[in-house]
Amino acid sequence: MELLYNLGIFVYSAIVFLLSPFNHKARLLVRGRRDSFKIIRQKRVPGDKYIWIHCASLGEFEQGRPVIEAIKKEMPGFKILLTFFSPSGYEIRKNYQSADIVCYLPSDTVNNASKLVSLVKPELVIFVKYEFWYNYLSAISRRNIPLLLISAIFREDQVFFRSYGSFFRKLLGKFSHIFVQDQPSAGVLKNIGIQYVTTAGDTRFDRVLEINAAAKSIQQIENFRGNEKLFLAGSSWKPDEEIIAEYINNHPGTMKWIFAPHEINRENTGRLIKLFSVKCVKFSEYKEENSNARVMIIDNIGMLSSAYRYAYIAEVGGGFGKGIHNILEPACWGIPVLFGPNYVKFREAIDLIALGGARSFRNYVEFKSVLEGLLADENLYERSAGTAGRYVRENAGATFKIMDWIRQKDINNR
């Protein structure tokens, strides 16, 4: 099986290389991996101690970030190596200031794994959520380096738990400890004999509360909202935008509306503006005389998490595609959250729907019903809003549990 795995890695790398002249992401991946060891050699300080954190992409980075920043605060004697598999993670966070070295993870070959571990000599390695690279995990394990998996989720239908999954189960055995998000994940691991498991929750809860505490006032949105209620569609995509736009055009005076589209290029924001029959303004062009507009388009990156504070109801995009974006960011402000139907792989969405803090819609009729139900029944709204905020607060604390394990391990004296 090991031979087949390494062959698969070789074939995948070859395909990415062949696609690179024609595919932007593939090109970034090839170039980035090529430079990884060069970046490490240039930035690594001989004699310094390193902790290595690996994230697949941007979503996993947000889960790893609270732990990285806790390490930097509590263990200033350690440097941080941060690696990414995906260009969508690396290209956005390559200048992340809390990491001392940021690079792509080189392809998972025996040689690359041995080379990276020997070069960095990490005192601790943390993989986030879904990353299981056989050669890297083996190289770390052989050197008896403490190895953590954090914010993990496991399901019975995964390959680890199949009759033919013995090779992949061995990967789980290479971790020193596994921190899972929920009890079902801990249960399926213990059913196959993995005992070094802690149900810690998801570090994203800690992260959104940190963002909440550091949120900035946005005068333009305060002015635009005025004395009206505000609906904010965050990380929106075309399908949910079209449904919400139809409602706005039919009921323009219901409230004020803000869209923070997932893609903020000129072509996409232009398409979005054309959906509305009411006055619409971009945030970058907003002036006080535009306060009578009914719709605002946020055409920048980095403002959304703070903008949610002004919302009476939020909608989060992605639910008509591969899956919803971060619903915890609006929920932590204590507001009801709406999203499309593709949410079944997101525990927080399932939980919030069950508790009444969130609602899903599949079409215009359902969106209209859900929205108007919340607007018409003040008691229903208050229960939903309170539930959303309470859910985030009650599920925080994963970072503390992970850091407590690290403290007890006392890697300073390794």
- The whole-number pLDDT of residue 131 equals 86
Q: Are residues 271 and 331 in the same domain?
A: yes
Q: Are residues 187 and 254 in the same domain?
A: no
The number of CA neighbours under 13 Å toward the Cβ of 376 is 6
Q: Are residues 46 and 162 in the same domain?
A: yes
Q: Are residues 306 and 390 in the same domain?
A: yes
Say whether 129 sits in a helix, a strand or coil.
coil
Strands (E), 275-397: 280-282, 295-297, 313-316, 337-339, 358-360
Q: Which of 53-57, 80-84, 298-302 has the lowest mean pLDDT?
A: 298-302
For residue 209, is it within any domain? no
Q: Are residues 233 and 348 in the same domain?
A: yes
Q: Are residues 28 and 71 in the same domain?
A: yes
Tens digit of pLDDT for each residue in 168-184?
A: 899 999 999 999 999 99
Q: Are residues 75 and 24 in the same domain?
A: yes
Strands (E), 166-307: 177-180, 197-199, 230-236, 256-261, 280-282, 295-297
For residue 360, is it within any domain? yes
Q: Are residues 370 and 409 in the same domain?
A: no
For residue 210, is it within any domain? no
The backbone torsions φ and ψ at residue 292, rounded to the nearest 5 degrees and listed phi first, read -85, 0
Give the chain's domain count. 2
For residue 369, is it within any domain? yes
Q: Are residues 165 and 263 in the same domain?
A: no
Tens digit of pLDDT for each residue in 130-168?
A: 889 999 999 999 999 999 999 999 998 898 998 888 898
State yes or no: pLDDT of 315 exceeds 60.
yes
Pairing of strands 147-152, 197-199: unpaired
Full residue range of the structural domain in which residue 43 is found: 2-201+397-413
Asked if residue 98 lies in contact with residue 68, where contact means CB atoms within 8 angstroms, the answer is yes
For residue 315, is it within any domain? yes
State yes or no: pLDDT of 414 exceeds 60.
no
Tokens found for residue 224: 């635009």
Report the C-alpha gap between 342 and 333 in whole angstroms: 23
Q: Are residues 336 and 240 in the same domain?
A: yes
SS3 content of the chain, % helix, strand, coil (to 5): 50, 15, 35
- CATH number of the CATH domain containing 98: 3.40.50.11720
Tokens found for residue 69: 């920043």
For residue 56, is it within any domain? yes
Q: How many of the other CB atoms lie within 10 Å of CB of 5?
A: 15
For residue 206, is it within any domain? no
Q: Are residues 17 and 157 in the same domain?
A: yes
Tokens found for residue 349: 């969405």
State yes or no: pLDDT of 301 exceeds 90.
no
Report the C-alpha gap between 145 and 153 in whole angstroms: 23
Q: Are residues 151 and 299 in the same domain?
A: no
Residues in the chain: 414
* Amino acid (1-letter code) at residue 12: Y
